[in-house]
Amino acid sequence: MSTATETIEGLVKSEYKYGFFTDVETESAPPGLNEDIIQLISKKKNEPEFMLNWRLKAYRHWLTLKEPTWPHVKYPPIDYQKSVYYSAPKKKGDGPKSLDEVDPKLLETYEKLGIPLKERERLAGVAVDAVFDSVSVGTTFKEKLGEKGIIFCSFSEAVHNHPELIQKYLGSVVPPGDNYFAALNAAVFSDGSFCYIPKGVRCPMELSTYFRINAANTGQFERTLIIADEGSHVSYLEGCTAPMRDEHQLHAAVVELIAMENAEIKYSTVQNWYPGDENGKGGIYNFVTKRGVCKGKRSKISWTQVETGSAITWKYPSCILLGDNSVGEFYSVAVTNNYQQADTGTKMVHVGKNTRSTIISKGISAGHGQNSYRGQVKMLKSATNARNFSQCDSLLLGDKCGAHTFPYIEVKNTTSRIEHEASTSKIGEDQIFYCNQRGLSTQDAVNMIVNGFCKEVFRELPMEFAVEAQKLLGVSLEGSVG
Amino acid sequence: MSTQPILEIKDLHAGVDGKQILKGINLTIQPGSVHAVMGPNGSGKSTLAAVLAGRDGYEVTSGKVLYNGIDLLELAPEERAREGLFLAFQYPIEIPGVNSTYFLKSALNEIRKHKGMSELDAMEFLTLVKEKMKILELSEDLLRRSVNEGFSGGEKKRNEIFQMAVLEPKLAILDETDSGLDIDALRIVSTGVNKLRRADSAQLVITHYQRLLDYIVPDFVHVLSNGRIVRTGDKALALELEEKGYDWLVRPEPAKA
């Protein structure tokens, strides 16, 4: 046996540097899920009646649903009664009115994660909504964005301050009964981010939400709703981390995007939830529903995701291309190392005329990782001259991992055109030797080859994120070869 | 003044998958010299190159290789490269998505780091590269492409020599660099190689055909047959081979039943 194969097998631990825990006093609901818990969450958040009713309806629907079994992932049954559905850092008095009043321990946490929230150290050009377990602890640059009429705040705030927008759009893209996890989210979601870009406004900075799971045995259920009104433009980033724990934790989020005529939403995710240890112990179950609707003509929604974390990833950021000439894009890099599993991809539903979609998916498997691409392209009868291009590439490191592709194509209009390309390759020993012979170490060679493989996706990310994503990829695959 | 040889191969036995291919190679290469290793197919030429570069899967069963006085066989492939050993591949490898400039800059900086020199920044590197490209008559377009991806056979070989020009090795091993080249490409590549000759470095040119040696004039010609060097001579030996073929030098293998 060659040394390259041996070293691929010689998997060593790569340090998950976000695995720390913040010791803050919390206020948590007792474990379990029932109507009382939902009442409690709604009450805690001081929600208007319509929200409580919406939640209860979703919950009752959830009870009738069965957990999906079609994803290509394996995990023991989840006991939903064991999880805690609400956990928040204890507030003093009325709670912080501004970031200056936020518990310093929380500010410190975000600083450690590389997301300083304090005025002086904030990331230039990025407004951040920081979500800690079930609640948003603060949003930066709110006032500055307000000057342009942009609303960027926590979901809870939006429920109070902009109930008309919430009532109009909440659940309009992902209905509460859409699927098992979306229904669960609708019943118990506790916070998240809300964003509205008014007509003709180009958002002057990147908007971003940073999700942090801290408390043990707690699920995180957040909701993001972004509305880009006519002719507006917004780029949104999402980052996630969690402490290292031996138990699995559930993260079931919902993201809804709405793009009006000529509007553009670019949604980027760098998902780095705790992936579990090298034996597959612990890690986050990341069961997420993300969907956008291109409502208006010539609107555009672009999803870019770099999925390196989580024990299991189950998500399909999708686009419904309603408006004529609207555009949907999906760029994805998914990495599974050790015992990680990913079943991810997208759905492009072409409704309007001349709608176009592009899917670029790059799956990387190492260790015992299982990586599946699942994508659906649907051309409805009305989708005259619609076009889709899909490219799914898989890269294998070692011989114990797996790559799978499940494309679904449904065409009801003969003028539409669909192209699908797929490839699977292994990092060749000859490629590594070639790099070695030029003086590069095996680890550097693998990083270089993997980054080259992901290039088409990385170039879609905003600058700061692209650099971060490259580094993250290096860390995720550390020890997979070398 | 006696100089230390760049390479000393002593009674080298090596093989792959348990099959003995090199059966006692002895070869000494002094700085400033060009050695050609010729021989029929299957004589062990490429195995010799692979063993010297440290390719995985090749096993040295006995013998010694000293490189500038140090035990070459103890070093990992990347350490050999950083010490100035360069192999121009017979079949250069494609690395999709990895930019040629980035690749070569990383390689050069690894070598410079190893030598205790400062790393070159993007601007310094580009200046260097532009100068070296002229030697190989390469277009700058190549720098923007992925490593060897979509290159023609000739471009790949020229790119190998271009990398050699940038990395300035102490010992360059050219493994059948002439194969698959038309006469113009052969001229460009050879001219490039000749320009890279230095008093403190050496070249080991592995080839099947004499024609490469019309351009790269060797100081020594070695004929490899059945894992051994069976004859050493000067340039005239290559011409003799051209005329008579290998048969007169190569002892026939015992006939198989």
Q: Do residue B95 and residue A431 have CB atoms under 8 angstroms apart? A: yes
Task: Work out the pLDDT band at A11, boundaries 50, 70, 90.
Answer: very low
Question: SS3 for B185-210, per residue?
Answer: HHHHHHHHHHHCCCCCCEEEEEECCH
Query: 3-class SS at B65?
Result: strand
Torsion of CA A217, A341, A193, A242, to 10 degrees: 40
How many beta carbons lie within 10 A of that of residue A79, not counting itself? 9
Is the confidence at residue A122, as pLDDT, over 80?
no
Per-residue confidence (pLDDT) for residue B114, from 0 to 100: 95
Nearest-CA distance A4 → chain B (Å): 8
pLDDT > 70 in chain B, percent: 96
Per-residue confidence (pLDDT) for residue A164, from 0 to 100: 94
Is the confidence at residue A242, as pLDDT, over 70?
no
Nearest-CA distance A267 → chain B (Å): 24
Distance, in Å, from the CA atom of A33 to the CA atom of A80, rounded to the nearest integer, reads 7
Distance, in Å, from the CA atom of A113 to the CA atom of A203, rounded to the nearest integer, reads 25
Query: 3-class SS at B126?
Result: helix
Residue ranges of the alpha helices (H) in A133-178? 142-146, 155-161, 163-169
Can you say whether residue B78 is alpha, beta or left, with left for phi > 0 and alpha for psi between -120 and 50 degrees?
alpha
| Average pLDDT of chain A to the nearest whole number | 84
How many beta carbons lie within 10 A of that of residue A176, not counting itself? 21
A311-320 pLDDT, tens digit per residue, is: 888 999 999 9
Closest-approach residue (CA) in chain A for B164: A438
pLDDT, average across residues A21-25: 69
Contact yes or no for A418/A385 (Cβ under 8 A): no
Q: Do residue B76 and residue A430 have CB atoms under 8 angstroms apart? A: no
**B146 contact residues in A (CB cutoff 8 A):** 452
Residue A246's contacts (CB-CB under 8 Å, 6 or more residues apart) are: A281, A282
pLDDT greater at residue A343 or residue A478: A343
CB < 8 Å from A in window 127-156 of B = 146
Residue positions counted in chain B: 257
- CB contact, 8 Å: B55 with chain A? yes
| Average pLDDT of chain B to the nearest whole number | 90
What is the pTM assigned to this prediction? 0.80
Query: 3-class SS at A73?
Result: coil
| Encoded tokens for A253 | 């989020």
**A437 contact residues in B (CB cutoff 8 A):** 53-54, 77-78, 80-81, 86-87, 89
Is the confidence at residue A476, as pLDDT, over 90?
no
Closest by CA position to B166, among listed B100, B78, B96: B100
**Residues facing residue A258 across a β-bridge:** A227, A293
pLDDT, average across residues A419-425: 88
Per-residue confidence (pLDDT) for residue B213, from 0 to 100: 87
pLDDT > 90 in chain A, percent: 40
What is the number of alpha carbons within 13 Å of residue A333 lying toward its C-beta?
Answer: 26
Nearest-CA distance A428 → chain B (Å): 10
Task: Work out the pLDDT band at A456, boundaries 50, 70, 90.
Answer: confident
Distance, in Å, from the CA atom of B246 to the CA atom of B251, rounded to the nearest integer, reads 10
**B77 contact residues in A (CB cutoff 8 A):** 433, 436-437
Nearest-CA distance B157 → chain A (Å): 14
Smallest Cβ distance to A437: which of B77, B104, B108?
Answer: B77
**B55 contact residues in A (CB cutoff 8 A):** 433
- CB contact, 8 Å: A382 with chain B? no
Task: Work out the pLDDT band at A16, boundaries 50, 70, 90.
Answer: low
Distance, in Å, from the CA atom of A139 to the CA atom of A143, rounded to the nearest integer, reads 10
B108-120 pLDDT, tens digit per residue, is: 999 999 999 999 9
- CB contact, 8 Å: A358 with chain B? no
| Cα three-residue angle B221-B224-B226, rounded to 5 degrees | 170
A342-366 pLDDT, tens digit per residue, is: 899 999 999 999 999 999 999 988 8
- CB contact, 8 Å: B18 with chain A? no
- CB contact, 8 Å: A391 with chain B? no
- CB contact, 8 Å: B89 with chain A? yes
Closest by CA position to A265, among listed A231, A214, A305: A231
Closest-approach residue (CA) in chain A for B79: A439
Which of A369-378, A456-465, B150-159 has the weakest average pLDDT?
A456-465
Task: Work out the pLDDT band at A2, boundaries 50, 70, 90.
Answer: very low
Contact yes or no for A350/A388 (Cβ under 8 A): yes
Q: Do residue B78 and residue A449 have CB atoms under 8 angstroms apart? A: no
Query: 3-class SS at A205?
Result: coil
Q: How many interchain CB pairs under 8 A, A with B?
A: 81
Smallest Cβ distance to B95: which of A429, A439, A449?
Answer: A449
Is the confidence at residue A121, as pLDDT, over 80?
no
Smallest Cβ distance to B93: which of A2, A430, A444?
Answer: A430
pLDDT greater at residue A309 or residue A387: A387
How many beta carbons lie within 10 A of that of residue A246, not counting itself? 10
**A451 contact residues in B (CB cutoff 8 A):** 97-98
| Encoded tokens for A403 | 């790559």
Q: Do residue B93 and residue A448 have CB atoms under 8 angstroms apart? A: no
| Cα three-residue angle B88-B94-B95, rounded to 5 degrees | 115
Task: Work out the pLDDT band at A297, boundaries 50, 70, 90.
Answer: very high
Nearest-CA distance A237 → chain B (Å): 25
Distance, in Å, from the CA atom of A395 to the CA atom of B74, rounded to the nearest integer, reads 32
Per-residue confidence (pLDDT) for residue B7, from 0 to 100: 96
Most confident range (mean pLDDT) of A186-200, A345-359, B150-164, B187-201 is A345-359
**B103 contact residues in A (CB cutoff 8 A):** 435, 438, 448
Is the confidence at residue A6, as pLDDT, over 70?
no
| Cα three-residue angle A320-A323-A325, rounded to 5 degrees | 105
Task: Work out the pLDDT band at A303, boundaries 50, 70, 90.
Answer: very high
Is the confidence at residue A58, as pLDDT, over 90?
yes
Task: Work out the pLDDT band at A123, boundaries 50, 70, 90.
Answer: low
Type of residue found at B77: P
Nearest-CA distance B111 → chain A (Å): 6
- CB contact, 8 Å: B16 with chain A? no
Per-residue confidence (pLDDT) for residue A9, from 0 to 100: 32
Q: Do residue A454 and residue B103 have CB atoms under 8 angstroms apart? A: no
Nearest-CA distance A115 → chain B (Å): 30
Contact yes or no for A317/A268 (Cβ under 8 A): no
Distance, in Å, from the CA atom of A351 to the CA atom of A258, rounded to the nearest integer, reads 15
